[in-house]
C-alpha cells in the first residue's frame, strides 16, 4: 500500500495569520526543491504563448497549445472565460513545452452556450467545495453522481447563499460581485520559504494547497486565498481553534493511494483523521511532487 509519509519530512507548518475569519497556516519547505521553471496559464495567455480553444464537441474538454519551450502548469479549478461557456480545469497537470493537449474541464456557467472558439484567462480558481467534489468523485467517497451536475448545483447554492444574481449561472459572477470582501486577502505576503497554505475557519478545514517551490506557490497564492475566503460563510461565528491543525497536517501524509493514474496526472488519496476520512490528490512530475491538495474530512 503506497503512502505519502516520505514527503512529511519535506514540509513543516509555521505560525498562522488571521485575515477576516480565516486561519492561514504557512506550509514551509524544509529542503531545496528540484529546479523546474513552470509557466502558468496567466503568464502564457497574457503573452500569447498559451492558447485555449474549443475542441468542437461538448464541454468536457478544451485544447491547450503550449508554445513555450518550458512546461506549463495548470492547477485544478483554474478558470478560463469565453468560448461557448466558462470552464474550470478538472485536474492539476503539466503540459510539455511545444505541445498541444486535450485537457478535461467542467462548465462553470450553466446558462450560456454561445460565443467563440477562443478562451481568455479568468484570474480565478474555484472555491474548495467545487475542487473537493471533483476529488471525492475520483476517490469514490460518497454517492457517485454526475460531476457536471454537481458543479452547477454547488454554484447555484453559493449564489443563493451570497445573494449573487447571475443571468447565466456563472461562477465568475460570484467573484466579480464580492470585491470588497475579497480584496483584503491581496495584502497577504508569503514567507521566504513558504510553498503552501492550510486554510481553516471555526467550522473546519477549507483546503490545504502545497507546491513544489516558493516561486510556483507565489504565482497562485492570492488567487487561492480569495477562493478560500469565498468558501467561508461563517464570519464572526465562534472562536478560532489553532491547536488542532498541526496534528491534522501530520495526518494527511499517512494517506493511502486509491488507484494508480497515468503518468503526469493526479494520484487520488484518502487520509484518516481521528473522526473522519478525508480526500486529497497529488501531482507528480519526473518523480517530483508539483502540487498537492487536501480537503475537509
Q: Is the pLDDT of residue 10 over 70?
A: yes
pLDDT tens-place string over residues 244-268: 898 899 889 988 888 766 555 788 8
In which order are the strands placed within the sheet that holds 87-89?
A: 50-53, 61-66, 99-107, 87-89, 78-82, 119-125
Average pLDDT, stretch 177-182?
72
Percentage of the chain exceeding pLDDT 70 = 90
CA 183 to chain centre: 19
Residue 230 phi, psi (nearest 5)? -65, -30
pLDDT tens-place string over residues 34-85: 677 899 999 999 999 999 998 876 678 999 999 999 999 999 999 999 998 9
Q: How many residues does the chain have?
A: 297
Between 238 and 21, the more confident residue is 21
What is the rounded CA–CA span in Å between residue 199 and residue 185? 12
pLDDT at 1: 34
Q: What is the pTM of this model?
A: 0.92
Q: Is the pLDDT of residue 230 over 90?
A: no
* Contact assessment for residue 294 and residue 208, using Cβ atoms and an 8 Å cutoff: yes
* Cell matching residue 9: 519530512
- E strands of the chain, at which residues? 11-13, 17-19, 22-29, 39-40, 50-53, 61-66, 72-74, 78-82, 87-89, 93-95, 99-107, 119-125, 194-200, 205-211, 256-257, 266-272, 277-285, 288-294
- Please spell the DSSP secondary structure of 118-179, one letter per residue: BEEEEEEE--HHHHHHHHHHHHT-S----HHHHHHHHHHHHHHHTT---TT-BHHHHHHT-H
Average pLDDT, stretch 121-139?
87
Q: What is the biggest distance separating any 2 CA atoms in the chain, rounded to whole angstroms?
A: 51
What is the rounded CA–CA span in Å between residue 186 and residue 297? 28
By the 10 Å C-beta count (0-12 exposed, 13-18 middle, 19+ buried), 290 is classed as: buried
pLDDT tens-place string over residues 278-292: 889 999 988 888 999
pLDDT at 144: 43
Amino acid at each position: 500500500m503506497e503512502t505519502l509519509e516520505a514527503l512529511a519530512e519535506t514540509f513543516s507548518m509555521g505560525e498562522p495569520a488571521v485575515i477576516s475569519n480565516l486561519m492561514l497556516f504557512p506550509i514551509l519547505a524544509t529542503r531545496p526543491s528540484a529546479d523546474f521553471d513552470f509557466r502558468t496559464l496567466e503568464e502564457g495567455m497574457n503573452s500569447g504563448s498559451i492558447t485555449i480553444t474549443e475542441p468542437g464537441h461538448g464541454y468536457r474538454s478544451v485544447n491547450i497549445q503550449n508554445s513555450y519551450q518550458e512546461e506549463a502548469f495548470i492547477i485544478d479549478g483554474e478558470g478560463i472565460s469565453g468560448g461557448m461557456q466558462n470552464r474550470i480545469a478538472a485536474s492539476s497537470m503539466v503540459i510539455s513545452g511545444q505541445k498541444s493537449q486535450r485537457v478535461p474541464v467542467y462548465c462553470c456557467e450553466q446558462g450560456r452556450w454561445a460565443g467563440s472558439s477562443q478562451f481568455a484567462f479568468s484570474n480565478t480558481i474555484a472555491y474548495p467545495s467545487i475542487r473537493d467534489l471533483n476529488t471525492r468523485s475520483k476517490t469514490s467517497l460518497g454517492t457517485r453522481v454526475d460531476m457536471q451536475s454537481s458543479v452547477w448545483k454547488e454554484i447555484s447554492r453559493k449564489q443563493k447563499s451570497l445573494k449573487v444574481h447571475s443571468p447565466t449561472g456563472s461562477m465568475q459572477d460570484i467573484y466579480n460581485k464580492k470585491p470588497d470582501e475579497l480584496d483584503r486577502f491581496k495584502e497577504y505576503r508569503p514567507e521566504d520559504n513558504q510553498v503552501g497554505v492550510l486554510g481553516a475557519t471555526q467550522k473546519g478545514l477549507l483546503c490545504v494547497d502545497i507546491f513544489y517551490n516558493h516561486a510556483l506557490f507565489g504565482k497562485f497564492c492570492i488567487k487561492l486565498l480569495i477562493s478560500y475566503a469565498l468558501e467561508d460563510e461563517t464570519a464572526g461565528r465562534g472562536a478560532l481553534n489553532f491547536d488542532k491543525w498541526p496534528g491534522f497536517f501530520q495526518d494527511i501524509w499517512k494517506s493511502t493511494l486509491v488507484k494508480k493514474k497515468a503518468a503526469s496526472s493526479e494520484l487520488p488519496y484518502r487520509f484518516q483523521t481521528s473522526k473522519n476520512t478525508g480526500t486529497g490528490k497529488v501531482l507528480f512530475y519526473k518523480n517530483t511532487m508539483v502540487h498537492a491538495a487536501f480537503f475537509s474530512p
